[in-house]
Amino acid sequence: MSDPTLLEVTDLVRHFPFREVQGLRMVKANVRAVDGISFTVRQGQTLGLVGESGCGKSTTARLVTRLDTPTSGSILFQGRDITTVKESQLRGIRRDIQMIFQDPYSSLNPRHTVGAILGTPLRVHGLHRGKEKQRVQQLLELVGLNPEHINRYPSEFSGGQRQRIGIARALAVEPKLIIADEPVSALDVSIQAQVMNLLATLRDELDLAFIFVAHDLGVVRHFCDQVAVMYLGKIVEYGDKRKIYEAPEHPYTQALLSAAPDINVARGIPPKERIRLVGDVPSPINPPSGCRFRTRCWKAQEVCATTEPPLVAAENDVALRGAREGGLHRHACHFPEVKTHLVAEVEPA
């Protein structure tokens, strides 16, 4: 039996309007940061959002936490549409949806002690009244810090320790879903591994769901169950991580994976051929017609310029009997690299 759906995002759009000068005229335009994406996250599941800078990953994270307001689309959290709820109603929602920010230095108030930083969300939500100090010390111990350091300031901690404090702050109100926006990208490699192991342990022990935003494909493969590959505001490939990493079908996903370090080289296996994309990422103000990746794609044909490919289930997955809902491998490409997946990878319904 599959876990219940915690979050369901449908046709989510976020356009940022602005004015630009064209000749002697001031013209209205939109930055299409997120342009119609859909995905689901089940209880205890981890979804990785990957793609180049500017593809809309962080904007998506801010929309789900309602730190930003969608232009259109719906965000269902535990069956409730939180897309248009009033500001006064967001407090209860944000208790269940917390965020870990990318920069462990600027995300903590340097004038507040660790005790104040972790105690504030408890007071805001009226939790552990009269026992705030004990709860703060428990949180510090939970993330691997000394509970006696409750009166220290952020400047007295290293970058990795500060990020652990940020994780403790997210856990303080006992959320069901955590949005982690590149939480280890600002840390040294050795510290990254420690923080990722901590997050994995907390996920399993507390049965947390995650949306994990990252550039590092190795980190996503280690931590996530599902992967959504974004390009210029769209999801171009989406599915189980094994299927994405072992048999990518969209050309953009293939290019990303070819640029990632290959651990098989150390085993004596020849490295995969590097796919080098030509040209720059188009402007989100005026994206290409049809398939947005066609201007950099080696498979592009006339149909790619006239028809936008929908995000559909791969033919090989549809053919596999017993594929459970949400486990299908989806891609948005007219000419996918179709590969046969192992039937053993599909769990029975």
User: pLDDT of the chain along its 349 residues, tens only?
Assistant: 467 899 999 999 999 998 776 666 777 889 999 999 999 999 999 999 999 988 999 999 999 999 999 999 999 999 999 998 888 888 889 899 999 998 888 999 999 999 999 999 999 999 988 899 999 999 999 999 999 999 999 999 999 999 999 999 999 999 999 999 999 988 888 899 999 999 999 999 999 999 999 988 888 998 999 999 999 999 999 999 998 998 899 999 999 998 877 655 555 656 667 888 888 889 999 999 999 999 999 999 999 999 999 998 866 555 443 444 445 789 999 999 866 444 333 333 3
Q: Is the pTM of this model over 0.85?
A: yes
Question: 292 vs 11, 29, 70, 93, 260, CA distance in Å?
Answer: 17, 18, 21, 34, 22
Q: How many CB atoms lie within 10 A of CB 88?
A: 7
pLDDT the model gives residue 315: 60
CA 132 to CA 113: how far, in whole Å? Answer: 14
**Residue 149 region, left (φ>0) first, then alpha (ψ -120 to 50), else beta?**
alpha
pLDDT the model gives residue 270: 61
Residue 84 CB contacts under 8 Å (≥ 6 apart), including other chains: none
Chain-centroid distance of CA 295 in Å reads: 25
pLDDT the model gives residue 1: 47
pLDDT the model gives residue 323: 42
Q: Transcribe 114-125 into DSSP letters.
A: HHHHHHHHHHHT
Amino acid at 124: V
Q: How many CB atoms lie within 10 A of CB 71?
A: 17
* DSSP label at residue 296: G
Q: How far apart are the first and last CA of the chain?
A: 7
What's 302-330 look like in SS3?
A: HHHHHCCCCCEECHHHHHCCCCCCCCCCE
Residue 9: CA count within 13 A, CB half-sphere: 23
Q: What is the Cα Rg of the chain in Å?
A: 22
Q: Which residues of 263-283 are buried (b: 16+ CB within 10 A; e: fewer)?
A: eeeeeeeeeeeeeebeeebbe
Site of tokens 């066609």: 294
pLDDT the model gives residue 341: 43
Residues facing 55 on adjacent strands: none
SS3 call for 149: helix
